[in-house]
Structure 1
Amino acid sequence: MLVSVTGGTGFVGAHSVAALARAGHRVRLHVRDAANVERALAPLGVDSATVERVVVGDVTDEMSVAKAVRGTDAVLHAAAVYSFDSRYHSAMRRTNQRGAEVVLSAARRTGADPIIHVSSVAAMLPCAGRVLHEHTPPGAAREPYMASKAAAERVARDHQRQGAPVVITYPPALLGPHDPNLGDQNARLRDALRGLVPMWPSGGFPIGDVRDTAALHAAVLTAPRDGTDRHFGPGRYLSTRAYVRLLREVTGRPLPAAVLPAAAMLPVGLLADRLQRFWPWHLPAEYGAIYTCACAARVADHASTLGLVSRPPAQTVADTVHWLYQQGHVSARRAGRAAVPSSPVQV
């Protein structure tokens, strides 16, 4: 099968391309910079012969998107701006909803089946009942990233209601090795190991392994249509207290940290967001991250993951910390015992 992939040089996109390649599919990439393809895919062992073509452009550009999806069997729309950094708010508003509109419409016109839209559990937050399932409506959060993903979610669901072969996936907060751009979750883990996150908000968040979500995307391509067109990336909900304990267990380090009421930390996050617009270095206190912990919900046990089982969080964190150490993002001292993995890192 020839699959057009947007965002194939990002964290989720690159791992998904590797999963598609292992399943025997060929890919056509739609990327903003062709120079990033080798850097993103080579560490994952993707053979260059797997990439049929690279189309350069932005997902809001109708001409380049049409070129990228034309003649392909399926489309995986993984491109999005994901960050709680206030400097990227305008890019999120501009890209996430409009990108979904352009890519999904172009994929429908070319007859691709399935058309996989990579959403996020954040697109349905906050939610009533504190449990997420395939019928949970898009959230009404005003936080920019969550709002942009909710808007894109509405676009994808509109296509579904119209009978289009659109399948939506909902990754949790993802960790894992081989992150081409050191995205939000891996950067926060790095900062925690560096001692830059001494305070955590109460609450928690669903956490998963990027390799498991990539496997889900490969499975969706050939999964039988049984009326289920929304799938959650494998993972599990962890409280922030449990997450910090997990970091301590994996690294063998004390990592002192206080857990404060999320409501009390939200004003600090708002202040940090305003300061971040003028401060050249990244501030680890972000309103969006705090707000997510305050309103995050666990995924219902019956939610579809196509039978895929998530890696244990300890393995995911250990592999990620080891990779951060290998790449020079943290020292051996900060990686602790994860500097030497107990088992080979899998891609």
Structure 2
Amino acid sequence: MLVGVTGGTGFVGAHSVAAIVRSGHKVRLLAREESRVAKALGPLQVDAKAVDVVVGDVTDEKVVAAFVKPADAVLHAASVYSFDSRDREAMARTNVRGTEVVLEAARKRGTPVTHVSSVGALFPSLSATIGPWSPIGKPKETYLATKAAADEVARRHQDEGAPVVITYPPALLGPHDPHLGDQNARLRDVLRGLMPFWPSGGLPLGDVRDTALMHAEAVTAPGGSRVFGPSHFLTTRAYLETVRAVTGRALPTLFLPAKAMFPIGKTADFVQRGWPWHIPAEYGALYTCAVAVPADDGAPTAGIAPREFTDTVTDSVRWLHRTGRLTARQAGTAAHTQIRKAMA
């Protein structure tokens, strides 16, 4: 099978490409810059002979039509995942317009497509849990709003009978993150001592490798289904406790009500528009912690059980240290364990 993949040089996309290739399929990759492909797929040991690269943007209708033409299935993973206020235009362009273009091109050819959404597209929810039956949310935050708008596009195609699978990954951690995305960057900021204040609430968290396995299954599944990424729902306190256990560090933290921190986040977002360095306090992250709910126990996950969250954090911290993004002191006992294994 030849699987067309958009967003294959990103965190979720690269791991999904690796899982698809390991499943015995070939990949046709749509990338804005061919130079990004080796950086994203090389660390995952993807066989270069199994990947064909088409250079172009997901919003270019002609390029996308040519990209989709020979594919037996498409995984649409292209998305800008960011709570940085400077990325608003890029999110609207890629997350919404890109989804419209890719799904329409696939539909015209009758090609099954798997659209990578987000659990955040279903927030805030009127129910205590979310599932495939959940309506699309009306979030008051830019990133989540663009994912909700893209989900509307995908569900419209489903309702009209197109072979579309929608996946709902949680917030993801894991090694080999080509661009150091939101969650791995936040973990690094915690261990660098840049986040002494945390909101109450919680969020669904998972391992990118589990979601990648789900995508390798989804591209061969019949259209029309909605699948949730394997995840654990953790309170922010439980998340920090896991990081402390993995690193052996105290990480003093003051927890505040999430909604009480909204003014801080909105102010930081305003300042961020003209400030060249990233500010860890983000309204979108605070908002997500305030409104997130877990996936229903019966939500389909392609039969993939989530790996232990402690293992995910351990692998993420070790990768951050190994790639020079954390010092040995910042990585704590996770780094020491890694050094001992390397010497064994």
TM over 0.5: yes
The worse-fitting range, judged by mean Cα deviation, of 63-72 and 165-174 is 63-72
Consecutive unaligned residues in structure 1, runs of 5 or more: none
Out of 313, 320, 324, which is 1:328 matched to? 324
2:82 aligned partner? 83
Q: What is the CA deviation profile of residues 111-131 of structure 1, one whole-angstrom value per residue up to 9, with x for unaligned ones?
A: 212x10000000000001131
Distance in 1 (CA, whole Å) between partners of 2:123 and 2:208 is: 21
Distance in 1 (CA, whole Å) between partners of 2:220 and 2:97 is: 28
Residue aligned with 1:128, SS: coil
Evaluate the alpha carbon distance shift between residue 126 and residue 344 of structure 1 in structure 2; reply closer, same or farther with a 3 A threshold: farther
1:254 aligned partner? 250
Matches within 5 A, 1:221-300: 221-223=219-221, 225=222, 229-300=225-296
Measured after TM superposition, the shift of residue 18 of structure 1 is 0.1
Query: Percent identity, aligned pairs only?
Result: 60
The worse-fitting range, judged by mean Cα deviation, of 94-103 and 333-342 is 333-342
Evaluate the alpha carbon distance shift between residue 158 and residue 329 of structure 1 in structure 2; reply closer, same or farther with a 3 A threshold: same
1:74 aligned partner? 73
Distance in 2 (CA, whole Å) between partners of 1:10 and 1:335 is: 24
Measured after TM superposition, the shift of residue 306 of structure 1 is 1.5
Please tell me whether the aligned partners of residues 8 and 31 of structure 1 are also in contact (alpha carbons under 8 angstroms).
Answer: yes
2:177 aligned partner? 179
Evaluate the alpha carbon distance shift between residue 218 and residue 297 of structure 1 in structure 2; reply closer, same or farther with a 3 A threshold: same
Counterpart code for 2:92: R
Counterpart code for 1:312: E
Measured after TM superposition, the shift of residue 228 of structure 1 is 6.3
Distance in 2 (CA, whole Å) between partners of 1:20 and 1:181 is: 21
Residue aligned with 2:3, SS: strand
Residue aligned with 1:280, SS: coil
Please tell me whether the aligned partners of residues 270 and 287 of structure 1 are also in contact (alpha carbons under 8 angstroms).
Answer: yes
Evaluate the alpha carbon distance shift between residue 79 and residue 343 of structure 1 in structure 2; reply closer, same or farther with a 3 A threshold: farther
Distance in 1 (CA, whole Å) between partners of 2:236 and 2:153 is: 32
2:314 aligned partner? 318
Residue aligned with 2:255, SS: strand
Counterpart code for 2:199: P
Counterpart code for 2:141: E
Evaluate the alpha carbon distance shift between residue 63 and residue 343 of structure 1 in structure 2; reply closer, same or farther with a 3 A threshold: farther
> TM-score, normalized by length of structure 2?
0.97
Consecutive unaligned residues in structure 2, runs of 5 or more: none
Measured after TM superposition, the shift of residue 94 of structure 1 is 2.0
Please tell me whether the aligned partners of residues 71 and 110 of structure 1 are also in contact (alpha carbons under 8 angstroms).
Answer: no
Please tell me whether the aligned partners of residues 318 and 341 of structure 1 are also in contact (alpha carbons under 8 angstroms).
Answer: no
Structural RMSD (CA): 1.5
Out of 139, 142, 145, which is 1:141 matched to? 139
Measured after TM superposition, the shift of residue 219 of structure 1 is 1.1
Matched, 1:65 2:34: no
Measured after TM superposition, the shift of residue 64 of structure 1 is 1.1
Evaluate the alpha carbon distance shift between residue 74 and residue 194 of structure 1 in structure 2; reply closer, same or farther with a 3 A threshold: same
Counterpart code for 1:92: M
Evaluate the alpha carbon distance shift between residue 281 and residue 326 of structure 1 in structure 2; reply closer, same or farther with a 3 A threshold: same
Counterpart code for 2:256: L
Aligned residue-pair number: 341
Distance in 2 (CA, whole Å) between partners of 1:313 and 1:24 is: 28
Please tell me whether the aligned partners of residues 61 and 102 of structure 1 are also in contact (alpha carbons under 8 angstroms).
Answer: yes
Distance in 1 (CA, whole Å) between partners of 2:89 and 2:5 is: 24
Distance in 1 (CA, whole Å) between partners of 2:74 and 2:31 is: 14
Matches within 5 A, 1:123-134: 123-134=121-132
Measured after TM superposition, the shift of residue 109 of structure 1 is 1.4
> TM-score, normalized by length of structure 1?
0.96
